[in-house]
Amino acid sequence: MFFMSQFRFTGPAILLTISAFLPPTRAATGRLDPTKTAEILAFPGRSALKTNPIAAPDPNQPTKASAAIAAAELIDAGKYEQAIEAYTKALEADPENSSLFMGRGVAATLARMYKPAISDLERAQRLNPQNREAKLWQAAALQMSGDGRAASMLYPPGYGIPDDYASYIYNDMATSTLMAARGNARGDLASKYLRAGQWFARRV
């Protein structure tokens, strides 16, 4: 049984606090009991927990975020062509996602598929002009393809991209690829691609 515990007077109006009419919502520990609180806030006689259940996720329907992470993990493992396929599938469900176009462009760059890589990286920037990481990788793809003039117009990519990361992608990996194409190899390219891809994937 509950009793009125307090009156407050504000001018001619009388405001009654209703806290005394509500059943206690604190457990023995002194903390709020969320179950009781939710039931109190529901319509009279109906539990909010019963009328508004939270649907369990369908394990057979991966989220957009999990699809992107799975694709990035393929890059991390050096499986660039598989990563391209994974990003393509993810883009079917989310065709205006700048990050997904960037990821596919990165995978294509590392697979030395420069034309589609540059196309994807340009699309990523059109969808999100602030995507400076896509700008960095476009510069790298252009450098690797032999178009140094166009590449130099995009590098450095700008604020928000760590200097050591940007320098490795452009000055080390991309430039080494260009030098190797000209007969002046500098280090093992496969290991450079793997490191660059892992650096990208672990930033996702």
Closest CA to 148 of 125, 119, 181, 123: 181
Q: Which residues contact 137 (CB under 8 A, 6 or more apart)?
A: 102, 105, 106, 109, 117, 121, 169, 200
Alpha-carbon distance of 204 to 188, in angstroms, equals: 25
What is residue 9's DSSP assignment?
E
CB-based contact 169:136 (threshold 8 Å): yes
Beta strand segments in 17-148, E: none
pLDDT tens-digit map of 140-182: 999 999 999 999 999 999 999 999 999 999 999 999 999 999 9
Domains of the chain: 7-51 (no CATH), 65-201 (1.25.40.10)
The most confident of the ranges 10-14, 47-51, 65-69, 136-140 is 136-140
pLDDT tens-digit map of 68-125: 999 999 999 999 999 999 999 999 999 999 999 999 999 999 999 999 999 999 999 9
Closest CA to 139 of 124, 125, 152, 158: 152
Look at strands 7-10 and 13-16 and give their pairing. Answer: antiparallel
Alpha-carbon distance of 35 to 111, in angstroms, equals: 53
Torsion of CA 134, 136, 137, 139, to 10 degrees: 120
- If pLDDT is split at 50, 70 and 90, which confidence band does 62 have? low
Q: Which residues contact 115 (CB under 8 A, 6 or more apart)?
A: 145
Cβ-count burial of 128 within 10 angstroms (0-12 exposed, 13-18 middle, 19+ buried)? Answer: middle
CB-based contact 50:81 (threshold 8 Å): no
